[in-house]
Copies of this chain bind each other. A is one copy, B any other.
Amino acid sequence: MKNRKYILKERPRGEVGLQHIEMIEEEVPDIRKGEVIIKTRYISVDPYMRNRMNDVKSYVPPYDLNGLLGGDATGEIVMSKCEEWKVGDLVCGSFGWQVYAKIKGKRLTRIDTSMGDESAWLGILGLTGLTAYFGLLQLGQPSAGETLVISGAAGAVGSIAGQIGKLYGCRVVGIAGSDKKVSYLKDALGFDEAINYKNYPSIRKPLKNLCPSGVDVYFDNVGGEISDGIMYLINDRARIVLCGQIAQYNEGRIPTGPRLNAQLLVHRGRMEGFIVYDFINQFDEARDALSNWYKERKIIAPESIAKSFEMIPHAFLGLFKGENQGKQLVSLI
């Protein structure tokens, strides 16, 4: 039985492109006791994967050169030497960009479709939703009546974080990269305001108009100049949640920008990074909350689904061009 998988052919310096990714074929390996073979159904592509292409120590280890790319996916067990799993079971786990995955059974999570659709287990019920949940609630600590600004608001995490903010009574203002996304945030997801940063040389002034009471919580998915504009608007005791810095993932070297720590200082603000696994002991309760909101239609979990295995690199590269709205997945079914 043949497997197909994507490997890291070359580490990108600067912008990642198709030349750094290679598809190879190989035999599906035999499995030993405790292992299963999964046939992949949905694959998640995420901005953080760009960082794993660098040979740099980070909170997730770098991909090996010529090693498998990717992260979370869903699939169906097609072979099992593990008591816990039988053929036909639907699972999710970190088994990457490949058609067939050999993995230890204990590293898988059972998909419970009564909690949400299979694809939702990569989105609102997966690391995406959990990241939005813990980042906003644990680090952002929003209170009713506060102003929450979200950059990358139409992305997978941002679109969920904003809706959670609404459930907590915040005034939610989203920043996105197209007029279409702005309409979507306001009309479909219930954001109070949204702004297309590409329409302005700097978002500082237009955003000030949308945040007449300043910014109490900033959920940052992008970094760079967009974040600069927001830092000028923070209120005393503002919380800045560092969730992503996509604006600089493709930079070959560290870019420069204004030194704005004095803003944090005079406003006694807090800026904090996190990784969702810090909260792994609370995943179940968070997933329950997210599932309830999702089933009650209090939170919409938008998805952009590309079709077929061949589309994986394109779907991934599209993240950096802002092509996705909500969670970007690739369907192999």
Contacts and interface: CB of A to CB of B under 8 A. Distances in A.
How would you classify the secondary structure of chain A's contact residues: helix, strand, loop or mixed?
A: mixed
A59 B242 CA distance: 24
A268 B248 CA distance: 17
Q: How large is the interface on A (under 10, 10 to 19, 20 to 34, 35 or more residues)?
A: 35 or more
B278 A274 contact: no
Interface stretch (A183-191, A257-265, A309-317): A257-265
A280 to B, nearest CB: 13
A270 B271 CA distance: 6
A245 B274 contact: no
Contact of A260 (B254, B269, B274): B254
A267 B245 CA distance: 13
Interface string A105-127: 00000000000000000000000
Contact of A255 (B227, B259, B275): B259
Contacts of A256: 256-259
A261 B223 contact: yes
A285 to B, nearest CB: 21
B268 A269 contact: no
Contacts of A278: 268
Contacts of A270: 270-273
A266 B273 contact: yes
A138 to B, nearest CB: 12
A275 B264 contact: no
A174 interface: no
A58 interface: yes
A259 B254 contact: yes
A71 interface: no
A155 interface: no
- From A51, A260, A271, A275, name the one whose CB has the most chain B CB atoms within 10 angstroms: A271
Nearest to A223: B261
A177 interface: no
Contact of A259 (B51, B243, B257): B257
Given A245-B259, A248-B259, A269-B272, 16 more contacts: A58-B266, A223-B262, A227-B261, A242-B264, A242-B265, A243-B265, A244-B265, A245-B265, A248-B262, A254-B258, A254-B260, A267-B273, A268-B272, A268-B274, A270-B273, A271-B271
